[in-house]
Amino acid sequence: MKRLVVLISGRGRNLQALIEAQRAGHLPVEFAAVISNRADAAGLDHARDAGIPAEVLPHAQFSDRAAFDTALAARLRELQSDIVVLAGFMRILTDDFVREFEGRMLNIHPSLLPKYAGLDTHRRALAAGDVEHGATVHFVTPTLDSGPSVIQGRFSIRPEDDAASLAQRAMEHIELKIYPQAVAWMARGELSLQDGAAVLRGRRLEQPATLDDLEDAFR
Ligand code: GRF
């Protein structure tokens, strides 16, 4: 069984979806720990409620980004983490950290990557007059929000939408489905990063998988 560590900073809705998928028998992992860089992250309670070790590594106590990342990497090694899942982890990671876990680390981003790397994605999609929006799971590589995409879900933007309604639909209809699916693929050894490309069941993904590719358990 693969050992999973989930890194969070906030509410932990994606974390909760992973916990539920694991409980339902759809995600063959053992949660080694949930680590937050903020002591007040609500997601820590989801971990505690599920009996998962909930740890806080407060970034403010480190002199700089590299020192924090060094400590985090050391902890992930101690935990013998096979898969690292960034679930609303609001930290930019150093190249050294990313290289150590490259191929074993996934992130979810609330936009149709490569559009809108970084913050404020919902407002930016509206400001650009986009007709569609969504969310993407991708491998983490040194450039922020730019690693090879694994699965992406999209929906139509409606005239009455605002940033809050887009955030809500992206979370509910897309994120909470595609992340457990992507982590399940990885846990089963069906998803890997090879020569800079996401490979799913032996096939190099020129385009990310879509909602149509979700297995029934994740729909
Ligand atoms: C999600 O929208 C995720 O895509 C982004 O941060 C948010 C985290 O939400 N990276 P939660 O902590 O999973 O509730």
Token pair, residue 12, equals 């932990």
Token pair, residue 160, equals 């009455």
CA of 70 to the centre of ligand 1 (A): 24
Closest-CA residue, ligand 1 atom 6, reads: 88
User: Is 18's C-beta closer than 6 angstroms to any atom of ligand 1?
Assistant: no
Q: Per residue of the chain (219 residues), what is the pLDDT tens digit? A: 999 999 999 999 999 999 999 999 999 999 999 999 999 999 999 999 999 999 999 999 999 999 999 999 999 999 999 999 999 999 999 999 999 999 999 999 999 999 999 999 999 999 999 999 999 999 999 999 999 999 999 999 999 999 999 999 999 999 999 999 999 999 999 999 999 999 999 999 999 999 999 999 999
CA of 201 to the centre of ligand 1 (A): 27
Domain boundaries defined on the chain:
2-218
Closest-CA residue, ligand 1 atom 10, reads: 88
DSSP string, 42-96: THHHHHHHTT--EEE--GGGSSSHHHHHHHHHHHHHHTT-SEEEESS---PPPHH
Q: Which residue among 9, 20, 150, 171 has the greatest number of ligand 1 atoms within 8 angstroms of its CB, and so is best to mutate?
A: 171
Options 3.40.190.10, 1.10.10.10, 3.65.10.10, 3.40.50.170; CATH of 2-218:
3.40.50.170
Q: What are the residue numbers of the active site? A: 109
Closest-CA residue, ligand 1 atom 5, reads: 88
User: Is 6's C-beta closer than 6 angstroms to any atom of ligand 1?
Assistant: no
Contact 191, 199 (CB under 8 A): yes
How would you classify residue 141: left for phi > 0, otherwise alpha for psi between -120 and 50, otherwise beta? beta
